[in-house]
């Protein structure tokens, strides 16, 4: 059995096609370019959506801050320093208690998403320029 397999493999010779390597390389480059463009548009749309969402979230945050009385407590710090020095613990607890935590968390998370999207969009732009600037450069 092994003799037959050896004879079969010796008879079968691999004829290398001259354009096979070029075709494989072009396929790899095209796939890399398509992946880069997909990532770019995904991060761009995520960043644009979260940037558009920041406007209502900032409005909600300012509304929550005004309704919670945070501005009144914070104005006490600058209006009467003697009173603030006497009751600094109570004032700090009142400030902490009047903070709208959920609105702050939503605002900061959207800001984080915007900055992260900007970072990845710029990274895709830079990689796209570097990856396809020359024929023999491919970054994974």
- Convert the pLDDT of each residue in 97-132 to its tens digit: 989 999 999 999 999 999 999 999 988 888 766 444
Cα angle for residues 79, 83, 89 (degrees, 5° grid): 110
- Convert the pLDDT of each residue in 13-65 to its tens digit: 665 666 877 888 889 989 988 888 888 899 999 999 999 999 999 999 999 98
Answer whether 127's CB lies under 8 Å from 119's CB.
no
What separation in angstroms does the CA of 26 have from each of 5, 20, 121? 35, 10, 25
pTM over 0.75: no
- Convert the pLDDT of each residue in 62-100 to its tens digit: 999 889 888 888 888 888 778 788 888 888 898 889 899
**49-55 LR contacts (CB < 8 Å, sep 24+):** 50/110, 50/113, 50/114, 50/117, 51/114, 53/110, 54/107, 54/110, 54/111, 54/114
């Amino acid at each position: 059995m092994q003799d037959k397999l050896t004879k079969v493999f010796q008879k079968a010779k691999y004829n290398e096609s001259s354009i096979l390597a070029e075709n494989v390389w072009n396929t790899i480059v095209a796939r890399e370019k398509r992946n880069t463009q997909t990532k770019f548009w995904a991060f761009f749309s995520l960043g644009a959506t979260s940037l558009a969402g920041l406007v209502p979230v900032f409005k909600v945050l300012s509304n929550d801050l005004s309704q919670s009385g945070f501005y009144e407590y914070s104005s006490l710090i600058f209006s009467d320093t003697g009173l603030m020095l006497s009751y600094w613990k109570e004032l700090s607890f009142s400030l902490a208690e009047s903070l709208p935590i959920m609105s702050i968390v939503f605002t900061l998370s959207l800001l984080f998403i915007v900055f992260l999207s900007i970072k990845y969009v710029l990274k895709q732009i830079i990689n796209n320029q570097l990856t396809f600037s020359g024929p023999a450069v491919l970054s994974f």
